[in-house]
A and B are shown apart, each in its own frame.
Chain A
Amino acid sequence: MHEISLLESVLESLEAQAKQQGFQQVKQVVLEIGALSCVEADALRFGFSAVMKNSVAEHAELVIVKIAGQGLCPTCQQTVLLETRHDPCHHCGSFGVKVLQGQSMRIKELIVI
């Protein structure tokens, strides 16, 4: 369950932001999770409140924005929507589509007081 470690990194970042930006409490955390990143949104939701307990983000709401996977086909040079990393090109059937988008895991924004 590396989602827990990732949430711990998120928390570390929130604590750092709280110091830098001078806020006491996080009300909402918006994470951007790519469809091809190796993280499960449900596992993040599951672990979120446990990891945020007793922190600036206790009781914060978690919002997950999903980013679709997108790649470029090396054979036909067209843009391909990817559900998983090893999907073949849906135009020409080639494998080895180069991933352009959807691998990211980002803290996008926060609502704080």
Chain B
Amino acid sequence: MCGICGCGSSSKSKFSPLKPHHHSHDDAHSHSHAHETHGERLIRVEQDILAKNDSYADENRAYFQQHGIFALNFVSSPGAGKTTLLVATINALKNTRPIFVIEGDQQTDLDADRIRATGAAALQINTGKACHLDAHDIGHAVQTLQVADNSVLAIENVGNLVCPSSFDLGEAHKVVVLSVTEGDDKPLKYPDMFHAADLMIINKIDLLPYTNFDVARCIEFAKRINPDIEVLQLSATQEQSLGAWLEWLNQH
């Protein structure tokens, strides 16, 4: 049994089916009864739907704090360059600051393999149908990966600008990666994600000449949604463009 949360395994909890009901009846029938005849009662719950995820996230955050782990949650559309950026970052920081990586994808271990090729420790989580990582996944992954004290923990979320915005993982910051081939209007189209992020990295800057992406317009849109968002521009494929990003990491 899991020591963190008491769950039976790393899989999501399953629910036991109801015992046969002695007077099961169809919906139409049940609605014709007055409530009292069935002994119905009202229960006020007043509970946030994400309360459970948030409580796991709080536990993760406390754990990270105690162990000096700086956790970042990378989010983007599929293919914006998250893995490429992580590989480049690990190579640039080699022997200065340990980085551990949790890779979330619906299927395959490909991204974790790319990270491991750098020599860094990575754990792949396949979310299957789910389009995001949740805080419970991360709590387990941190234990499995044995993330060292005083390291950077990079969590690459499933490529998806919608769902991961709702699920706090306990990270210090969400980092949204937006590549210039996706269009400069993304912050307005997916406002929840840009609202939740503290840093926006505009990636694939080398491809600017081939697109009509307007960097100033993109930043203006992002600040409309989130006036406090920080912005960096780089090409994950060009080491010399990573300076400001490495500096940002250094300062955090």
A79 within 8 A of B: no
Residues 126-153 of chain B: 1 if any A CB is under 8 Å from the residue's CB, otherwise 0? 0001111010000000000000000000
Q: Once the chains are docked, how many angstroms separate the CA of A96 from the CA of B194?
A: 13
B48 within 8 A of A: yes
A4 within 8 A of B: yes
Q: Once the chains are docked, how many angstroms separate the CA of A27 from the CA of B134?
A: 29
A interface, size bucket: 35 or more
Q: Once the chains are docked, how many angstroms separate the CA of A56 from the CA of B17?
A: 8
**Contacts known (A38-B192, A86-B188); A9 close to B43, Cβ less than 8 A:** no
Q: Verify B41–A112 contact, CB threshold 8 A.
A: yes
Within the complex, which residue of A55, A104, A110 is in contact with B48, where a contact is CB–CB below 8 Å? A104
Report whether over half of chain A's contact residues are helix, strand or loop; otherwise say mixed: mixed
B39 within 8 A of A: yes
* Residues of B within 8 A of A (CB-CB), count: 43
B91 within 8 A of A: no
Q: Verify B192–A2 contact, CB threshold 8 A.
A: no
Residues 7-39 of chain A: 1 if any B CB is under 8 Å from the residue's CB, otherwise 0? 011111101010001011101000100000111
Q: Verify B52–A12 contact, CB threshold 8 A.
A: yes
Q: Once the chains are docked, how many angstroms separate the CA of A31 from the CA of B46?
A: 9
Q: Verify A96–B224 contact, CB threshold 8 A.
A: yes
**Contacts known (A12-B13, A113-B38); A105 close to B48, Cβ less than 8 A:** yes
Residues 88-113 of chain A: 1 if any B CB is under 8 Å from the residue's CB, otherwise 0? 00000001100000001111111111
A111 nearest CB across to chain B (Å) = 5
B residues less than 8 Å from A21 (CB atoms): 43
**Contacts known (A12-B13, A113-B38); A86 close to B225, Cβ less than 8 A:** yes
Q: A26 — nearest CB in chain B belongs to which residue?
A: B43
B45 within 8 A of A: yes
Q: Verify A38–B162 contact, CB threshold 8 A.
A: yes
B residues less than 8 Å from A78 (CB atoms): none
Q: Verify B18–A58 contact, CB threshold 8 A.
A: yes
Within the complex, which residue of A38, A84, A104, A109 is in contact with B42, where a contact is CB–CB below 8 Å? A109
B residues less than 8 Å from A110 (CB atoms): 42-43, 45
B183 within 8 A of A: no
Q: Verify A111–B48 contact, CB threshold 8 A.
A: no
Near A by CB (< 8 A), chain B positions 1-37 give 12-13, 15, 17-18, 21, 27, 30, 35
Near B by CB (< 8 A), chain A positions 29-81 give 31, 37-39, 54-56, 58-59, 61
B residues less than 8 Å from A27 (CB atoms): 30, 40
**Contacts known (A25-B18, A85-B225); A9 close to B49, Cβ less than 8 A:** yes
B50 nearest CB across to chain A (Å) = 7
Within the complex, which residue of B27, B43, B227 is in contact with A17, where a contact is CB–CB below 8 Å? B43
Q: Once the chains are docked, how many angstroms separate the CA of A23 from the CA of B48?
A: 21
B195 within 8 A of A: yes
Q: Verify A38–B18 contact, CB threshold 8 A.
A: no
Q: Once the chains are docked, how many angstroms separate the CA of A25 from the CA of B41?
A: 11
What is A's interface to B at a CB cutoff of 8 Å?
1-2, 4-6, 8-13, 15, 17, 21, 23-25, 27, 31, 37-39, 54-56, 58-59, 61, 84-86, 95-96, 104-113
- Could you write out 27 A-B pairs with CB less than 8 Å apart? A2-B130, A2-B163, A4-B130, A5-B134, A9-B49, A9-B51, A9-B53, A10-B49, A12-B13, A13-B45, A13-B47, A13-B49, A23-B41, A27-B30, A38-B165, A58-B18, A95-B223, A95-B224, A95-B227, A105-B50, A106-B45, A106-B46, A106-B47, A106-B48, A108-B46, A110-B45, A113-B38
